Structure 1
């Protein structure tokens, strides 16, 4: 079973508000003291909170229901009832909460950020609130309002500086393993990577950036084929896209165009991002073959050649990435 969970559905219910009190003041020397009922307390909210120490929604995998507490009823002597306790749902940074209609309820972008996704019901007013010059002894109070309730979908979109985009077996995992401490599964068949892997890449002068190895695209991914939408949403949050085309591809530029089309079909804004085109497995090429591959690409989209196995061109690739990230 994978430890990486990026989608969960939870039935969430905020607390009802407490009812107002309809108490009438009755003391030994004040037999008709009038209304003194307090207001009910607000019901507890359901709150989504960012936690930088989490990287997956795995802790929520078996959570089916989250219910916040009900507000306490008002009491005599105009005492307001206590608020119901809020219910917190801790999620990784990059998590979006939606209702079943797809409407976004909130989006966590930093550690400790809190977003109320469902509001608790307001407490009802006590009878003291309804006292007027013409009605000095109201014997009624408001009930508390119902808290909001919804089936909430939590989706995680990986936050990384660089997202690796390519067909299965383009060498994405090999690159990540060779320039970071990440240990993705590497094998010579399609879809070795089934969940995103993150690696911190060390750069010059102790600087670093985060790279995400994302499951490979296949043609038709934007329509949900292969791993389809499951992987495409992770690319949305990456600052830069690194297109990877293996040196043994039959048509390097056409492969790039297919990748580009899939991203555009999924979300046209994807291609507004900065991107770099690269040819992986360059240890299989001599200088003449590199020139022939470069000719396939337009002048403004010339690829960078590198090899995760022989380490060829890795520093040059990191330099280009850093320049794109920091200008």
Structure 2
């Protein structure tokens, strides 16, 4: 499937085993449920950390930051370490993650990150330190470069970020305060990569519909940003005019009324302005005590009058089994070789 999305799902179970499954868009068919051929990583002597950040470079998986126990302390402590691994073969469990020599400048729990168009990884938050609040990781050099946050900006706690232009990265937050997560206005920080400059971009974003430390800001190209909290209601925000320009009501809801969306991804080309967009959204199933993962493919079209009309094209359930920690990320699939089994 040339140019489609390739998804990676990693989840931990009660026995601290980390499971893995990779697939492309062809795997997300319209079905009630789908059993998976699950792979994974064996447990190390040291417990796999929680609250980490994940990214992928080529075929290699990377895990950064998070909290883990040391051999000498039973409490969870933030870490600045980086691990790498190759995806295990289908249906098998391989040796666990390898510790990389490079370390971040600061320790981070729940780091927020985004792969940049130049191949680097932008990492921010997860710390109360303004010095080194953000970092770039260069996979080719295997090095981190720290970036300080301005003192006047306080200490925001980001929960989402995206790259707007080749030069500008946007960071979203609605909590701030050093050491404490105090509510504040839903805001965007902008960072100019070329000029090495931070700015407070705007503080008037639509308030979150629920506050669970997660919000999906999905940039679709041009100046359009979709903000997705619940599966049934989305916001459309114009970055140029800096205001909300519409709402998306998903009438054929994937399930129930107010279902929080764990992750949302845009399947189109961000380099082309459009009035039609296709998204994939993933939701936990709390009725089953976080057992399995629901998904839906949603098309949104902007009508001539300016209204946004949504249609659920496909939906189903990934049978991942019980989990307590799950991570989902996606990238453009240039090879189109990975398919979902089952």
Same fold (TM over 0.5): no
Greater percentage in helix: 1
TM-score w.r.t. length of structure 2: 0.20
More strand by share: 2
* Higher relative contact order (CA closer than 8 Å, sequence separation 6+): 2
| TM-score, length basis structure 1 | 0.20
Q: Pick the structure with greater CA Rg.
A: 1
